[in-house]
Chains A and B, each alone.
Chain A
Amino acid sequence: MMIESPDQPDFDQRGLDDFTALYVSHYEQLLRLAVLLVGDVPAAEDVVQEAFIRVHRTVDGGAVRSPLAYLRQTVVNLARSEVRRRLVRLRHAPRPMPDAASAEEGAYAAISRQEVIRALRRIPARQREAVVLRFWADLPEAEIAELMGVSTGAVKGYISRAMSRLGLLLKESS
C-alpha cells in the first residue's frame, strides 16, 4: 500500500545507478497499483514496464524532478489507455476458444477473481483511479487531483460515488 515504503531498512545504495534504485524502490508497488487499475497482472506488468521504459532516459539526466510522481502518473495514464483498448478489443474480438490454463495463469486468475478487483472493474475508470490512489496509495486528494488533471472537488465526488457503488457491489457479491 505504501508507495514510499518508509519502513524498509536503510540499505546501502552505493554502486547502484539511479534507474536501478528507482526500480528496486518502486517497481513492485507500482505493479500493484497497476493491477488495481487494470484488473490483471500481465496487463499491469506491461503497463509498469512501459512506464519505466519511458522514464528510463530522463532519470540520470535530471529532467524529471520527481521520478516517482512521473512514474505514477505514467502508470495511471497507461492503465487508462489499456482499459480503453481492452474495451475496444472486447467489442470487436471473436469469442475465444476454450483452452487449458497454465498454473501461472491460474495464479493470475486468482487475483482477477478477488471480489474487490471485480468490483473495481465495474465502476468508471475515473472513480477507480481516485479511490485506488486515495485508499491504497494513500495519496492526498490534492495530489490525486493534480495527477488526474481535475479539481479537488471532482476527486471528492469520484471517491464518494465510488465508495457508494463499491459498497453496493461488494454487498451483492457477498
Chain B
Amino acid sequence: MTPPLSPERLTRLLDDAVRPVTARPDALDRIRQGTRRRRTPRRAGVVLLTAAVLAVGTVTALLIAPGGGPARISGLGPSPARYQASSYANSQAQAGPPAAGQTRTKTLPTAAFSAAPSAAHPALPSTGLSVVPSAAQSAAPSHGVSAAPSAAQSAAPSVGVSAAPSIAVSSATQSVAPSAAPSAAPSTAVSAAPSATPSASPSANRPAAAGIPSVTNSAAWAIDGPGKPTSTVSIVAAGNVRTTVHFLLVVRTTARGTQTVPFSATSVTGMPPLGPVVVGAANAAKDGHTELFVLVDAGCCTEFWTIFRLVNGHIVQVRLAGAPVRLAVGGSVTANGGFSCSGPNLVTYTYAHQAASGTRESFLATRDTYRWVGASLLLVSQRQTTILGAQNPELAQYSGVACGALPQYVLKR
C-alpha cells in the first residue's frame, strides 16, 4: 500500500520544478506584435463585410425602386434575383418600422483595444526619484564608454508603429531630469501633457494591481514635439522585481501608441534603491530627435547610462560596437568620466590614474568622439593625453555631463 503524497510535498515539488522558468525579455513585444497582426485581418474583414452589405443594399434598392426595378426586369421573367428582392421587400413591409426604442442597426465588431492612449489616460506622474546614495554599492567599475556584457538585450523595435514623421522636440520642453525635489523634475513637458484626472484612467478597474509590481520609475518625454501631448516613459521589471536584470522601457505616446523596448540593467537589489532610472531626455544628436538617457548600473562613484532614441518610428536602445551603449558618468579621485553633446557628435571623456611620475601624479585622459548613425554610435576619433598633477585644472575637462538639461548624476547628491 503506497502512502498518498502529502499536499505539502507536492506543493514543494511543483514549486521547485517551475522556479527556473522566467519570462523572456521580449515576451511582451511578441504579444503586442501578435495582437497587432490579428487586428489587421479583423479590420479587413469589417471593411469587406461593410462593402458587401452596401453592395447588397444598393442592388436591392435598384430592384425595388418604385417604377424602376420591376419595369426594368419585367421582360426577363421571374429570376431568382427578382424573387429575392421581392421577398426582401415583403419581409421589410411585414416587419414594419422598428418599435420605439428599437433600432435595426447591426453593430459590427470593431477592434476594441488600441495601444494608443486616449486623451483620458492617467495624469502624468512625477519622476519621483528619491536620491539615496547606497552604502551597499560596489567599487567603481572601470570608466569609459563600454558595451554592456549582456547578450540578452535587443535593440529591435517592439511594437510596430508605422513610419511616422520624425519627432521634433525643443530642448526647452524635454527636460525630465530627476532631482531630489520631484516637483522640479518634469518641466514644461508635464504641463503639455493631457491633464485627465486619474479617475478617468482605465486603470481604475485594474485587477490585482495594487501591491504587485513593478514600475521602478516613470517620467515624461516630449517625444511628439513641443506643444503636443507628452509621452510617458516607464521602466518595468520583467520578472521578479527585486532580482531581475531584464527590464522594459514602456513608452506611451498619443501619436504612436505604446512601444516597449527590452533592456538589461543591474537589478534593484544590485542597485538600490531604484534599479534602473530614467535620467532625462536631451536633443543629443542635434537632429530634432530627442534621446532618452537611462541609468542602468552604478557603483560607489560611477554611474552608467544607456541611451534610447527614435529611429524610423521605433524607439530603440542605442548600440556601440554591437552591444548596448553604457556611458560612464562620474568617478573618484583616481578615475572619472563624463560626456558632452554640445556639437553634432557625442564626445565621451575619461581619465584614470596611471602612476606617479616623479613627485607628480599622472593621469591618462581620453576623449572619444562618436557619430550618431541610426541606432548606433560610431567611433570617429580618439585622442589621449597625459595630464600631470592631481590638482591640474585640465582634469576637470574630462569629467561631468554637458548635454541639454541632463543632470550630472542621478544617485549622487
A contacts, CB < 8 Å to B? 1, 4-6, 8-28, 31-32, 35-36, 41, 44-45, 49-50, 52-53, 56-63, 66-68, 107, 110-111, 114-117, 131-132, 135-136, 163-164, 166-168, 170-171
A1, A11, A60: the one within 8 Å of B213 (CB): A11
Report the minimal beta-carbon distance from A67 to chain B, rounded to whole angstroms.
5
Q: A17-B258, A20-B260, A114-B17 are in contact. Are A63 and B125 (CB under 8 A)?
A: no
Report the minimal beta-carbon distance from A78 to chain B, rounded to whole angstroms.
13
* Beta-carbon nearest neighbor of B210 in chain A: A10
Report the minimal beta-carbon distance from B281 to chain A, rounded to whole angstroms.
15
B contacts, CB < 8 Å to A? 2-5, 7, 10-11, 13-18, 20-24, 27-28, 30-32, 34-35, 38, 111-115, 117, 121-125, 128, 198, 202-203, 205-218, 232-234, 236-242, 248, 250, 252, 258, 260
Query: Can you list 18 A-B pairs, Cβ within 8 angstroms, ordered by A?
Result: A4-B208, A4-B212, A11-B213, A11-B215, A12-B215, A13-B214, A17-B121, A17-B202, A17-B258, A20-B250, A35-B17, A53-B34, A61-B113, A66-B207, A111-B21, A167-B5, A168-B2, A170-B13
Tell me whether B213 and A24 are in contact (CB under 8 A).
yes
Tell me whether B27 and A18 are in contact (CB under 8 A).
no
A25, A136, A167: the one within 8 Å of B4 (CB): A167
Complex Cα gap A74–B248 (Å): 25
Tell me whether A57 and B125 are in contact (CB under 8 A).
no
Give chain A residues whose Cβ lies under 8 Å from the Cβ of B14: 1, 36, 116, 132, 135-136
Complex Cα gap A19–B28 (Å): 10
* Beta-carbon nearest neighbor of B244 in chain A: A28
* Beta-carbon nearest neighbor of A27 in chain B: B23
Tell me whether A11 and B241 are in contact (CB under 8 A).
yes
Tell me whether A17 and B17 are in contact (CB under 8 A).
no
Report the minimal beta-carbon distance from B332 to chain A, rounded to whole angstroms.
31
Q: A8-B214, A60-B202, A131-B10 are in contact. Are A25 and B208 (CB under 8 A)?
A: yes
Q: A12-B217, A22-B206 are in contact. Are A49 and B17 (CB under 8 A)?
A: no
| Residue with the greatest number of chain B CB neighbours at <10 A, chosen from A17, A20, A115 | A17
